A and B are shown apart, each in its own frame.
Chain A
């Protein structure tokens, strides 16, 4: 029994979600190999080889894997699958794409967003936007699963001695899909998915210009900026800042919500945060039911004052 963990990276370094996924894989209890796929990723593979708990790194370095398109990634994983009992990826926009393809091509089911590993074949996962937690037993011999990174510890030990890095010579063919363009929001702030502090704004912030108030506090305390779906839908900020069931799932040490009412879909994305602060004019806002510290007040008064005093 060997588990294959798929590394998440940005071609330069491993993402913290990779470490969380490695923790989940260790709970499965078998030998672990890690796959690093992409283009010009030798440095990432080298870093992976130093992670404690891994006995081999597979490096698939080719043009066709550069944008992690579903079709070639699916074929690559199916090609590698024969040697593995578990194929595990952190749940992200790329793995959500290719993992179900891998499962279907192998004629097995997939367990999405695993939040606890009970044994090698029994897992917990959230359903109904996190309003219920299901315990499931996988009946297939090969387990294909994605892991909710925020549910697992991110700390991983490093070894001085690197394990072997093996180059994968399989190059998938892809004539059906192609990358056209990326529109990436440049930001000097920490990445939302892995930030230890997040300052979020909701519909109550009122406009895109007013989001500068949220950003000012975030910058003062070194936090990432987040938003509720309402704020994103209203066009205040870009889509990739959305925290919630259909946005990013986060679990920082500190989550501060300004002008966010606390719809179930938003709570699903942030309720595992260690400390939650809510500031809202409406004292009956549902967000106060999950907040460790609530302050009933106008965010236009509170935000500048906090930024000033913190």
Chain B
């Protein structure tokens, strides 16, 4: 079975985000970029399925700027076999990304697509579900456990109050939650090897996808900051503050 994995280049999760002075967007100049953490989990899961003999090939794909090649090489160092970059500049809306992925799914016919549940920049949490709709494949989102059994994928996911397991007929789309696995680090020899693995570059036009704008970004501002309150010195003082001042107990 072939597995297609999505990878997004985003701001490194350790970097503190700053809003531009003109409030047009967040400032990404000279900021460290990295693979979206949920995508790392998706790559790891696909590589493990290959190591377990369930998958035959792992293809990673990104829709984004030329620099996204870095993250694709990184994914190949972690064990993916080849990569596809669909070049597109700027922030691409989830539905447009989903359309590019749908075109590649049509071409590659993977038995499973694994994606991160959300990217840590736009926090939309939409792409996997949109891809499932466009390709008419079943979806298992926020997977914390994935088992492939015959022609089915058993996905355990979080719901309010606990966990739910659903069965999907393959081919299917799965999105990853944090607890699915612990991604590995790339070893130097694997990083060297990844440089020679095939990376195909396509344009949206090659895939027959036209960008459509659904949403306009008007302004980005810093959230209202919460100022630090006071330090109390004892439990008694804390309880009296909560009772008399804040009146919450």
Contacts and interface: CB of A to CB of B under 8 A. Distances in A.
Contact of B229 (A92, A109, A126, A293): A293
A69 B167 CA distance: 11
Interface stretch (A25-33, A36-44, A161-169, A238-246): A238-246
B65 interface: no
Interface in A272-310: 274-277, 288-296, 302, 305-306, 309-310
A109 B215 contact: yes
B8 to A, nearest CB: 14
Q: Is the interface of B mostly helix, strand, loop or mixed?
A: mixed
B69 interface: no
Interface in B136-153: 137-142, 144
Interface residues of B, number: 80
Nearest to B224: A133
Interface in A207-260: 221, 229, 232-233, 238-240, 245-246, 253-254
Interface residues of A, number: 87
A105 B133 contact: yes
B135 to A, nearest CB: 10
A176 B138 contact: yes
Interface stretch (A56-64, A81-89, A181-189): A181-189
A306 B249 CA distance: 12
- Which 10 pairs between the two chains have the least Cβ-Cβ distance? A109-B214, A100-B129, A292-B229, A104-B130, A184-B162, A176-B138, A104-B133, A100-B126, A254-B248, A101-B133
Interface of A: 67, 69-71, 74, 92-94, 96-105, 107-113, 122, 126-140, 175-185, 187, 191, 193, 197, 221, 229, 232-233, 238-240, 245-246, 253-254, 264, 271, 274-277, 288-296, 302, 305-306, 309-310
17 contacts: A93-B158, A96-B141, A100-B128, A104-B98, A104-B130, A108-B95, A109-B215, A110-B124, A131-B17, A132-B26, A135-B220, A176-B138, A182-B164, A183-B163, A240-B159, A291-B229, A294-B230
Interface of B: 11, 16-17, 19, 26, 93-95, 98, 117-118, 120-134, 137-142, 144, 154, 157-169, 172, 177-179, 212-223, 226, 228-236, 238-239, 241-242, 246, 248-249
